[in-house]
Chain A
Amino acid sequence: MIETLNDLQLLRIDGAATVEDAELVLSTLVAHPDWRVDLRECSHLHAAVLQTLMCLRPCLWLPSPPSPVAVLAKAAGLAALADAPTPIALDDVP
Chain B
Amino acid sequence: MSPLLNQFVTEARELLESAVEGLLALERTPGDSEVIARVFRSVHTLKGNAGFFDFAAIGVVVHAGEDLLDAVRDGALALNGHAVDELLRLCDLVGDWVDEVAQHGTLATHHQAAATACALALRQHLPSATAPGTPLPEADDGEATLGDRAGWLANAGAEARAQALAAASAAGASEVVVGTYQPLAGCFFSGDDPCLTLLALPGLLASEIEFAQAPGPAATFDPYDCKLRLHFVCAAPVEAVAQVLRFVPDQVRYAVHPVEALAPVPDTAAQVREAAFWRLVEAQAACLAVMWPAGSEPASAMADPRLTPLRQVLTRALAVLDDAERAAQWAAVCDEADTQGNFRAIEQLLQRWLLERQRAVSVEPAAAVAVAAAVDPQTAAPSSLRDQPAAEPALKPQATSTLVRVEQEKIDHLMDLIGELVVAKNGLPYLAQRAARIPGSTELVREIKDSHAVLHRIVQELQGTIMQVRMMPVSQVLQRFPRVVRDLARRLGKEVELHMSGDQTEADKNVIEAMADPLVHLLRNAVDHGVEPPEKRRLAGKPAAGQVHIRAWQDSDQVCIEIADDGAGVDPVRVRAKAVERGLLGPDEAAALPDAEAVQLIFAAGFSTAEQVSDVSGRGVGMDVVRSSVERLGGRVHLSSEVGQGSRVRLSLPMSMAVSHVMAFRVGSQRFGVAMDRVVETLRVPADRVFTIKQQEAIVLRDRVVPLHRMRRLLGLPSDPSSGQGDLAVLVVRALGEPVGLVIDAFDVGMETIVKPLEGVLSGLRALTGTALLGDGSVLLVVDPGALL
Contacts and interface: CB of A to CB of B under 8 A. Distances in A.
Contact of B209 (A22, A50, A55): A50
Contacts of A25: 223
B207 interface: yes
Interface in A13-70: 19, 22-23, 25-26, 29-30, 33-34, 44-52, 54-56, 68
A46 B193 contact: yes
Contacts of B294: 34
A75 to B, nearest CB: 4
Given A47-B188, A76-B209, A83-B290, A52 B223 contact: yes
Contacts of A72: 195, 198-199, 209
A51 B193 contact: no
A75 B289 contact: no
A22 to B, nearest CB: 4
Interface string B278-307: 000010001001100011000000000000
A71 interface: yes
Interface in B201-230: 204, 206-211, 215-216, 218-219, 221, 223-224, 226-228, 230
B223 A49 contact: yes
A83 B290 CA distance: 8
B215 A50 contact: no
A76 B230 CA distance: 9
Given A48-B188, A51-B227, A30 B218 contact: yes
A55 B188 contact: no
A80 interface: yes
Given A19-B193, A51-B228, A75 B223 contact: no
B218 A55 contact: yes
B207 A71 contact: yes
Interface residues of B, number: 33
Given A44-B196, A50-B195, A54-B211, A22 B223 contact: yes
A52 B221 contact: yes
Contacts of B295: 34
Nearest to B290: A83
B358 to A, nearest CB: 9
A93 B206 CA distance: 34
B183 interface: yes
Interface of A is mostly: helix
Interface residues of A, number: 30
B224 A22 contact: yes
Given A23-B223, A55-B221, A80-B282, A50 B199 contact: no
A47 B194 contact: yes
Contacts of A80: 282
A46 B286 contact: no
A51 B224 CA distance: 9
Contacts of B219: 30
A55 B154 CA distance: 24
Given A29-B218, A56-B218, A51 B199 contact: no
Contacts of A49: 223
B215 A51 contact: yes
A26 B223 contact: yes
A71 B208 CA distance: 9
A47 B211 contact: no
B207 to A, nearest CB: 4
A79 to B, nearest CB: 12
A44 B207 CA distance: 16
A47 B228 contact: yes
B215 A55 contact: yes
A78 B115 CA distance: 37
A14 B198 CA distance: 21
Interface string B302-315: 00000000000000
Nearest to B286: A83
Given A19-B224, A46-B195, A83-B286, 7 more contacts: A44-B195, A47-B196, A50-B195, A50-B209, A71-B199, A71-B204, A75-B206
Nearest 5 interchain pairs by C-beta: A22-B223, A55-B215, A75-B207, A76-B209, A47-B194
10 contacts: A19-B224, A26-B218, A33-B218, A44-B199, A47-B183, A47-B192, A47-B228, A49-B223, A52-B221, A71-B204
